[in-house]
Structure 1
Amino acid sequence: MKAFSALIHREFIEHRGAFLLGPLLLVAIVVGMTVLAFTVGRVDVRMTGSIVTGLSTMLFWPALVLCVAWGLYLLAVLFFYCADGFAADKRNNSMLFWKSMPVSDFTMLLAKLIAAVTVLPGAVYAIALLSMALMLGTAQIAMIVNGTSAVTNFLDLGAIFWNVGLIALVQLVVSLLWYMPFMALVGAMAVMVGRWAIPLSLLLPSLVATLEWVTLGGLHPFQTRTWDYVSYRSTMPEAGLVDQWIADGPLGVDVHSGVPYALDLIGRLDWLQVGIGVVFALCVLFLASEYRRRAAAN
């Protein structure tokens, strides 16, 4: 167990630039943009009456958009991590050193995948919460300085922080479970072809769909069961749900909507497909570990 934890810790140390140092730099940019927005007149806070009462609620949307942006950043970086991290041992000639550890090749690849769905996204999520807290705090201080905010608004900001953080956490967990087979596929391809894993992984479904079209027929390769399934699994799990909630209006008028949204998203998720994806991820990692073991032996 200690060796497995050490492997996960190694992944964080080797890739902290993309999952810790880079995001911290982006936090400074977010805070700077917030300060500029309230100091150069881009945001008008000279409001009174009922508009001021709902001002904190209006900050819900910038906080939510900020967390969505962090989520998109994380998903993009994770796929590049899988393409780089799974091939790093072979590229830097440390394969024999890591193979001397009392763990199997499958365990080493599994540690990389576990790091990709736990520690690494956890670091980015913590930084996302930090950036949201600094953004909300900066906005609140600016409103106090301009005399347009009441002390009671801190309670509303706390509610916004809690609910947006909960929504971001649930969407992060759901997305990681949903895209785990894609990350495992990229990682398995990286074991064999290195950094070319991402384009080859994108090409593989097209080849399978073309093979189905040639053998079973159809109008074209992009109208096959294979392509329909890949399109379904590549769609964001919250797609459609966000539009429904925006249309219904609870997120726009109530900062206490995090729990029902999270429960709705969890209830709508296709858990059977999630289970199939986990089994697929473990299978491709096992095949990649067998290739890695035999390739290193030769």
Structure 2
Amino acid sequence: MKAFLALIRREFIEHRGAFLIAPLILVGIVFLLTLLAFSADRLDSRMSGQFLTVFPTWVFEAGFAALASGWLVYLGFVLFFYCADGFAADKRNNSMLFWKSMPVSDLKVLLSKLAAALTVLPAGVFAIALVSILLLFGVAYVTTMVAGLGSAALLGNIALIYAQMTLVFFVVLVCALLWYLPYMALVGAMATAMGRWAIPLAVLLPSIVSALEWVTLGGAHPFSTRTWAYLDYRSQMPVSLDVLEGIWEGERHFEPMSFITDMLARFDWLQMGIGAVFAAVMLYLASEYRRRAYPT
């Protein structure tokens, strides 16, 4: 177990640039730009503070949802490139023989990479995302104080919104990671055999499979097949976007616990289980290729 945890820690150390340092730099730049915008009178702090008190709940809920969505998109991109790069790193940097000499199986090494992609790496982005949103809330509350409209009651409401939305953000993140698990495993398995060529191949593979179905079974066009419909379904976030759009447009009051309960009730647990089995098969095949292609 200690060896497995050490392997996960290695993944975090080797890829902390994309999952920790770069997000921190991004947050710092955005925060400095915000301060400069207020100090240079590009934004009127008094007017902004008055606006925040008109629809305080909506502003903070919508702001949290928008920033959290942006961070989820960022995490999706970096996880894709991590799986395409991290699973091939040992072969690329000539450390394969070193890791082969360790008392750790190829399957355990690949499992540690996938475990890192599901735990510590997204956890780093999640923590920084919360810090960035906290800074946003802090700036928003300070502007209300400048406008002379700040109060203990408003601060308490902001803190409650932050806590509730953090729980929603966490649940959505966990569900998204489990939902896209087969994609991560597939890209990682391809990278184990083909290195960075897995990046373009992962993009082309769905089109190739759908085109083969179209050629053999027919259809209106290559993107009107059961394969493409299934992949389109599995590529969508397991979140009701109608609810989020309603929040951003101010059409409804957001109820975090109702949202979580409804999302978990609608979640396709059967497909998640199928995806987990598929991921396990892909990792096993990749470990067998790694074991046979680079024997000790």
State the TM-score, normalizing by the size of structure 2.
0.92
Give, in whole Å, the separation in 2 of the partners of 1:250 and 1:121: 29
Identity of matched residues, %? 53
State the partner residue of 1:5.
Answer: 5
State the partner residue of 1:22.
Answer: 22
Give, in whole Å, the separation in 1 of the partners of 2:20 and 2:231: 32
State the partner residue of 1:188.
Answer: 189
SS in 2 for 1:102: coil
The answer to whether the 8 A contact 2:49-2:143 is kept is no
State the partner residue of 2:276.
Answer: 278
State the partner residue of 1:72.
Answer: 73
Task: Return the letter of the residue paired with 1:177.
Answer: L
Give, in whole Å, the separation in 2 of the partners of 1:58 and 1:284: 44
Following superposition, the deviation at residue 48 of structure 1 comes to: 9.2
Give, in whole Å, the separation in 1 of the partners of 2:58 and 2:232: 36
Provide Cα deviations, 1:220-256, integer angstroms capped at 9, x if missing partner: 2211111111111111211xx222454489976646x
Task: Return the letter of the residue paired with 1:127.
Answer: I
In structure 2, relative to structure 1, the CA distance for the partners of 1:20 and 1:247 (3 Å cut) is: closer
The answer to whether the 8 A contact 1:47-1:148 is kept is no
SS in 2 for 1:297: coil
Task: Say what the alpha-carbon RMSD is for the aligned residues.
Answer: 2.3
State the partner residue of 2:126.
Answer: 125
In structure 2, relative to structure 1, the CA distance for the partners of 1:50 and 1:90 (3 Å cut) is: closer
State the partner residue of 2:53.
Answer: 52
Residue 290 of structure 2: which of 275, 289, 292 is its match? 292
Give, in whole Å, the separation in 2 of the partners of 1:63 and 1:43: 22
Following superposition, the deviation at residue 127 of structure 1 comes to: 0.7
Give, in whole Å, the separation in 2 of the partners of 1:165 and 1:248: 16
State the partner residue of 1:262.
Answer: 260
User: In the alignment, is residue 88 of structure 1 matched against residue 86 of structure 2?
Assistant: no
Task: Structure 2: state its 5+ residue gaps.
Answer: none
The answer to whether the 8 A contact 2:45-2:143 is kept is no
In structure 2, relative to structure 1, the CA distance for the partners of 1:120 and 1:245 (3 Å cut) is: closer
Aligned residues: 295
Task: Structure 1: state its 5+ residue gaps.
Answer: none
Following superposition, the deviation at residue 103 of structure 1 comes to: 1.7
